[in-house]
Chains A and B, each alone.
Chain A
Amino acid sequence: MMRIAALILYLLMPALAALAENRFPQPQFESGYTMPVTTTPSPRAATVEMLDILILVGALSLAAWLILKKRSRRGVFLLTVFSLLYFGFWRKGCVCSIGSIQNVAAWLSGSEAILPVSVAAFFILPLVFALFFGRVFCAAVCPLGAIQEMMILFPKLFPRQVSLALGMIPVSYLGVAVLLAATGSSFIICRFDPFVPVFRLSGEPVMILVGVGLLVLGIFVARPFCRFLCPYGVLLNWASRLSKWHATITPTECDQCRLCERACPFDAIRMPVTCPVSESRATGVRRLKVLLLLVVALGSAGAWGGAHLDRVLAPLNAKVRLVQVLGSSDPAVEKQFSVELEAFRSGERNPDTLAAEAEAIRRQFRRGGTCLGGFLGLVFGLSILSVSIRRARDSYEPDRGECLSCARCYLSCPEEHKRLKT
């Protein structure tokens, strides 16, 4: 029977089916040619990452010791240079603590993202140190801070209100970055990191220009990124407020000589509060009540408004955007996303599944946006509240939250000079 013949044929050519995958068969060389082997250069070993953690711990401890115990601005400066060279130019500023926020957010959101130990350490350690010693990380370890530190040449001070207002940017940035990372959309902190391209001497031209611009600005405005952009600084600020120990301007007692009043380029020195209050206690209490209500109102308004943020934020997710593009009949959009559309058409992704996934992401954005809006409303409300609470202060003190522990103010204090002499 024909079937038997086919069976024999099949048994005779078992190799044919196996090779069906290759369009052209593997050659049989007769000239003694040996095939080269594909090289696979390996990435940085994991042990080197562990070394980074050790250096981080070492640098943080050294910074805490130099700032709190040794009180040496010179030492802090040298450590800053080391951090700039090692974490900045040698390790190319990646992974840094600032970016690690996003890894943590993505990890906590329960997606498949895993948290490498080195990233976890870069996130946790500076915060732990801040809880004990203040922002010693900002002072001398962070490479992004270090490169700006070098640029502080002719710092200008400006009204406190301006820095207060600008100081609200980082917390908003933090909120948006966390939301985008938790939804698996984008790591905007890394994407818009202005200094990493400088460390790498390579990167997106626009970001290099922004980085250079910030550095030039930093000649007159001390550490603009740290104070008015850095989202990790927000966390360190909060942790530092709770710090067990913190840098003090004077090593002994403040005799209110006012010599340190303008020593801080970051405007983090607070004056003693002595001047008598010209309003009655009742007025003050009433205002406090109003402000407390305002906190609640802002929080709920923020939550309500944040629920509508998906409109702005969801298209930052590639999947949501792709679905939008697929649904758009605008030729300009099609032209702009022609590569994406072509890849989608040649790929094997199911449009139904994609739409469902995009819809799920959009819902995530709705939920996350509600949290984000509520959080930001609360933060704004609480900020307004906190600037309205007076606390007794009988000496010049660094603001625990805003002080970067750079140790500059030490030498402006006559008591410090006395201490150094003895």
Chain B
Amino acid sequence: MSELQTTGAMQSRREFLRTLLRGVLLAGLAGMGARALLGRRCQSATSSDRVKLCKGCPDLASCSSAVLSAGHKVWQLDPAKCTQCGRCATQCVLQASAVKCVHRPKQCGYCRLCFGFFQPGATTLTSAAENQICPTGAIRRKFIEEPYYEYTIDESLCIGCGRCVKGCSAFGNSSLVLQVRHDRCVNCNECSIARNCPSDAFRQVQATAPYLLNPRSERTAS
């Protein structure tokens, strides 16, 4: 081969090999694409949270669009596993983080002494800076009627540190949870917080049901 080979036979042989290899690779890629497309549908039929979507139709063409989009996944935090380590505030590629505290009024006790709002051992129950647990003052406290107070989160101020969540889940009803807010999340291929989460609380969920706010679904999450 160290001689210069320029014969036509050599050229055409090389050309043939190239065509052959190209064909093999194309077939492989096509197979992979088909498997990705079909495998996703099978999964939508087996996985329990998608059973309702899949109508068990025989072919992909007649599969409803809901099932088709079922392969689309987004990151979410499972409150049942979260240990409120505070990394959501610091590890997100966005600043401020796409993880915010979310309030579930249906769980809330509307307590006068809210462990998600007040510093432990707060002497007076006012919203003065020295009493608040939230470092950015993102929780609003409003009197409703004796003895109930309403709490709301200002997401533009919330940095997702989870201090309030820790207080509420340790002593309260767990009405405050951390959640990835999808109007902010850029849905990285590998979520930077998920990689650094010490509790393995992040996972990819169906984009059609992108929040884990239902207390029941939390419990069945593990």
Residue ranges of A at the interface with B (Cβ–Cβ < 8 Å): 21-27, 29-31, 33, 35-38, 40-47, 49, 92, 94-95, 99-100, 102-104, 107, 114-121, 124, 127-128, 131, 186-187, 190-191, 197, 200, 202-204, 239, 241-244, 273, 277, 279, 281, 283-285, 287-288, 318, 339-340, 342-344, 346-347, 349, 389-392
Contacts and interface: CB of A to CB of B under 8 A. Distances in A.
Contact of B2 (A127, A239, A339, A390): A390
A191 B18 contact: no
Interface of B: 1-6, 18-19, 21-22, 25-26, 29, 32-33, 36-37, 39-40, 43, 68-69, 71-74, 81, 83, 85-87, 93-95, 102-111, 144-145, 148, 150, 152, 171-173, 181-183, 185-190, 192, 195, 198-200, 207, 210-211, 213, 215
Nearest to A348: B222
A24 B148 contact: no
Given A23-B171, A43-B210, A277-B4, A116 B29 contact: no
Given A23-B173, A94-B189, A38 B102 contact: yes
A204 to B, nearest CB: 7
Nearest to A38: B104
Tell me the dominant secondary structure on chain B's binding face: loop
A166 B29 CA distance: 29
B1 A389 contact: yes
A283 B109 CA distance: 88
Nearest to A203: B93
Given A120-B33, A202-B94, A242-B18, A38 B189 contact: no
A360 to B, nearest CB: 16
A392 B4 contact: yes
18 contacts: A29-B148, A42-B183, A42-B207, A43-B182, A94-B188, A107-B36, A116-B40, A118-B72, A128-B26, A187-B189, A191-B192, A204-B192, A242-B18, A281-B2, A339-B85, A342-B198, A343-B85, A347-B200
Given A22-B109, A43-B210, A114-B39, A191 B4 contact: no
B124 to A, nearest CB: 21
A60 B197 CA distance: 38
A13 B103 CA distance: 30
Contact of B22 (A23, A242, A279): A242
A279 to B, nearest CB: 7
A392 B198 contact: no
